């Protein structure tokens, strides 16, 4: 898609708001025509050359009224412009965020920050600036007509700088765009490195690499400063050229008008009107050059954001979706249950990773209500891939998933509270308190915190924290051990009201005693349904149904006693010899 196509899609998202905002700012930009004419008449009245019979005080009152009217419109314009701007950037950020959450994105944190903040703001400015451009252009045209009526030769000198500005802007646009792209890449590198250093602080300390990491940061910051200075210098140089070109033209016009005033062809009122409009017209010439350069920068921003979606789905960046932000806090919309849960049936589920034979082939299984089902197998046998395919995190290439007898077409949208809750193999925590990570936006009144903390074996751990459950755990939970991170993630999952709880090897970092307590707490809740990936003995011994995988296929399933007879590896995981 072209930049103007993205902009048009944003405009059509709230067309009535764009029209209202455009009308208000059109009036604001055209308002100066009126005080210019009134000032001209006032001076003509004082010099005795007036064509109207309105007195001096009447003209002064009209000037005051026009000023108050413009102030009112500017206030209204500020409100509508902020509202309109927020709608534009809000839509882009929502679509970006939805895309990031819908599927894995290979993008550094720094680049994500730039796209969510700077690129979205750039697009927002581009839409708003179109209104300013239209208003200032119409004012310039109206002024042109009035100034031509006064003096054709002087008027033409007003628009000569415009031609110069356009030529300079067109020559400098490509170079400015290249500098802007380099500066944003350098900024993204700095932000990403800061995030990586924060997340890997312990590894850096153990390797005694602090000085090398600081030297790397110094190098990146120097490169960022170099590119930012080039970008800013070129931008300032262009603006200086625009301003000085107009200033020189203004000086020439004033010199020419002085001769006309001496000859009597130029009245004082005409001179003031000419100078009054000249300021606005020259401002338009500067704005026009900035507008062209800004459009070039906006095309780069749209190109970078659209690349995240891919060429075929670029329109998803500006897809029209609701922005229900009138109520704060936003209440989560509860899913309407298709039916009460009885069983989850998977038939012939298949997914292979592109360019390989790895994945899951023809997997069929049934998860009954109240069961404790364990998927086990060797490393790389496809256990996690099976879970991710089932939950819709990977696209199925064949097979069917049914929930209580009803087929699930959109698994990614379906599987989530209140149907399922999921703890991945490597859980992610936020830089917040333990309580905030467990609640994840839920009201404390809606969650039995003491229960989920006890079931996740966190009671003693939290008691040892300096601020208890209010302890801030740092970026990605860096203040917690691996086992503590896993248990906080499990507590977060248990805080959800769900029919099926899905856990992917969540006890790998736990000590033996803590792991035994965890599985005992979970398995004793017979009113819940669990689907667990594990080869731990304490987990297998509590399973109602065991599924054994090997090389992407289910090779055995049934009770623990049944799979032990057909699969020797199970005996090894239980601590028995082959």
Query: In which band, very low, low, confident or very high, does the pLDDT at 153 lie, cut at 50, 70 and 90?
Result: confident
pLDDT band at 550 (very low <50, low <70, confident <90, very high): very high
Concatenated DSSP letters for 461-505?
HHHTSTTGGG-B--GGGTTS-HHHHHHHHHHHHHTS--SEEEEES
For domain 3-318, give the CATH number.
Answer: 1.20.1560.10
Whether 484 and 207 have beta carbons less than 8 Å apart is answered as no
Contacts of 294 (CB under 8 A, 6+ apart): 125, 126, 129
- Mean pLDDT for the chain overall: 83
| Overall average pLDDT of the 36-61 stretch | 76
List the chain domain ranges. 3-318, 343-573
- Nearest-5° angle of CA 211, CA 213, CA 217? 115
Q: Does the pLDDT value for residue 195 go beyond 80?
A: no
Of residues 85 and 236, the one with the higher pLDDT is 85
**Worst-scoring range by mean pLDDT, 67-76, 316-325, 396-405?**
316-325
**Higher per-residue pLDDT: 426 or 115:** 426
pLDDT in tens, 162-190: 667 656 665 666 677 677 778 878 888 88
Q: How confident is the model at residue 250 (pLDDT cuts 50, 70, 90)?
A: low
Model confidence at 419, pLDDT cuts 50, 70, 90, reads very high
User: Among 33-42, 449-458, 568-577, where is mean pLDDT lowest?
Assistant: 568-577
Specify the DSSP class assigned to residue 514: H
Question: In the chain, pLDDT over 90 holds for what percent of residues?
Answer: 30
Query: Looking at per-residue confidence, does 48 or 12 come out higher?
Result: 12
Distance separating alpha carbons of residues 372 and 500, to the nearest angstrom: 10
Mean pLDDT of 26-42: 85
Cβ-based burial of 1 (10 A; exposed 0-12, middle 13-18, buried ≥19) = middle
pLDDT in tens, 505-516: 998 888 889 999
Task: Reply yes or no on whether the pLDDT at 333 is more than 50.
Answer: no
Position 390 scores a pLDDT of 93
Cα angle at 354 between 351 and 359, to 5 degrees? 35
Report the 10 Å Cβ neighbour count for 561.
Answer: 9
pLDDT category at 323 given cuts 50, 70, 90 is confident
- Tell me what pLDDT residue 75 has: 94
pLDDT in tens, 294-310: 787 888 888 888 887 87
Which residue pairs, CB below 8 angstroms and at least 24 apart, start in 173-178? 173/292, 173/293, 173/296, 174/296, 175/234, 176/231, 176/234, 176/235, 176/238, 176/293, 176/296, 176/297, 177/296, 177/297, 177/299, 177/300
Q: What is the mean pLDDT of residues 538-560?
A: 92
What confidence category does residue 330 fall into, taking pLDDT thresholds of 50, 70 and 90?
very low
The answer to whether the beta carbons of residues 123 and 6 sit under 8 Å apart is yes
> Which CATH number is associated with domain 343-573?
3.40.50.300
Given this model, what pLDDT does residue 123 score? Answer: 87
Per the omega criterion (within 30 degrees of 0), is the bond before 145 cis? no
Of 550, 62, 26, 35, the C-alpha closest to 277 is 35
Instruction: State pTM to two decimals.
Output: 0.60
Q: Per-residue pLDDT for 403 more than 60? A: yes
Percent of the chain with pLDDT over 70: 86
Q: Which two tokens stand for residue 200?
A: 């890997």
Largest CA distance in the chain: 117
* pLDDT for 197: 83
Average pLDDT rounded to a whole number, residues 64-83: 90
Q: What's the mean pLDDT in 7-20?
A: 90
How do residues 126-144 score in pLDDT, each as one tens digit? 888 888 899 988 988 888 8
């Amino acid at each position: 898609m072209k930049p103007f196509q993205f902009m048009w899609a944003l405009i059509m998202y709230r067309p009535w708001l764009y029209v209202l905002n455009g009308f208000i700012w059109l009036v604001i930009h055209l308002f100066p025509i009126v005080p210019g004419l009134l000032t001209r008449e006032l001076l003509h009245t004082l010099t005795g050359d007036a064509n109207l019979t309105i007195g001096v005080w009447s003209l002064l009152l009209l000037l005051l009224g026009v000023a108050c009217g413009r102030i009112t419109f500017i206030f209204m314009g500020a409100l509508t412009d902020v509202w309109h701007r927020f709608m534009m950037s809000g839509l882009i950020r929502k679509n970006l965020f939805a895309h990031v959450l819908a599927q894995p994105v290979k993008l550094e944190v720094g680049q994500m920050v730039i796209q969510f903040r700077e690129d979205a703001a750039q697009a927002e400015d581009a839409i708003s600036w179109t209104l300013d451009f239209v208003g200032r252009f119409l004012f310039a045209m109206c002024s042109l007509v009035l100034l031509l009526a006064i003096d054709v030769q002087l008027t033409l000198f007003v628009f000569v700088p415009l031609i110069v500005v356009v030529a300079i802007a067109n020559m400098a646009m490509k170079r400015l765009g290249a500098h802007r792209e380099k500066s944003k890449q350098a900024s993204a590198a700095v932000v990403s490195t800061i995030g990586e250093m924060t997340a890997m602080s312990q590894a850096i300390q153990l390797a005694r690499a602090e000085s090398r990491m600081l030297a790397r940061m110094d190098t990146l910051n120097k490169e960022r400063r170099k590119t930012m200075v080039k970008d800013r210098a070129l931008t300032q140089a262009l603006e200086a050229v625009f301003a000085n070109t107009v200033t020189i033209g203004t000086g020439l016009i004033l010199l020419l008008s002085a001769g006309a005033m001496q000859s009597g062809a130029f009245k004082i009122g005409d001179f003031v009107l000419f100078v009054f409009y000249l300021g606005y017209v020259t401002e338009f010439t500067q704005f026009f050059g900035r507008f062209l350069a800004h459009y070039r920068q906006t095309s780069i921003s749209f190109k970078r954001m659209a690349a995240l979606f891919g060429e075929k789905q670029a329109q998803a960046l500006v897809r029209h979706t609701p922005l229900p932000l009138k109520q704060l806090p936003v209440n989560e919309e509860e899913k309407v249950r298709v039916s009460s849960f009885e069983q989850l049936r998977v038939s012939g589920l298949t997914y292979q990773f592109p360019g390989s034979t790895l994945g899951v082939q023809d997997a069929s299984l049934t998860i009954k209500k109240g069961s404790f089902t364990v998927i086990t197998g060797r490393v790389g046998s496809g256990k996690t891939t099976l879970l991710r395919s089932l939950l819709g995190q990977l696209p199925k290439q064949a097979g069917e998933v049914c929930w209580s007898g009803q087929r699930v077409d959109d698994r990614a949208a379906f599987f989530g509270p209140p149907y399922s809750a999921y703890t991945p193999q490597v859980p992610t925590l936020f830089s917040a308190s333990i309580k905030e990570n467990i609640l994840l936006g839920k009201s404390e009144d809606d969650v039995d915190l003491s229960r989920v903390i006890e079931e996740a074996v966190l009671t003693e751990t939290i008691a040892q924290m300096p601020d208890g459950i209010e302890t801030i755990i740092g970026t990605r939970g860096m203040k917690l051990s691996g086992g503590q991170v896993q248990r906080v993630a499990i507590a977060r999952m248990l805080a959800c009201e769900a029919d099926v709880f899905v856990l992917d090897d969540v006890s790998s970092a736990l000590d033996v005693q803590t792991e035994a307590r965890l599985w005992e707490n979970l398995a004793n809740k017979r009113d819940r349904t669990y689907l667990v990936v594990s080869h731990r003995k304490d987990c297998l011994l509590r399973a109602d149904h065991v599924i054994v995988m090997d090389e992407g296929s289910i090779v055995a399933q049934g009770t623990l006693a049944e799979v032990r007879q057909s699969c020797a590896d199970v005996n090894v995981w239980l601590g028995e010899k082959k």
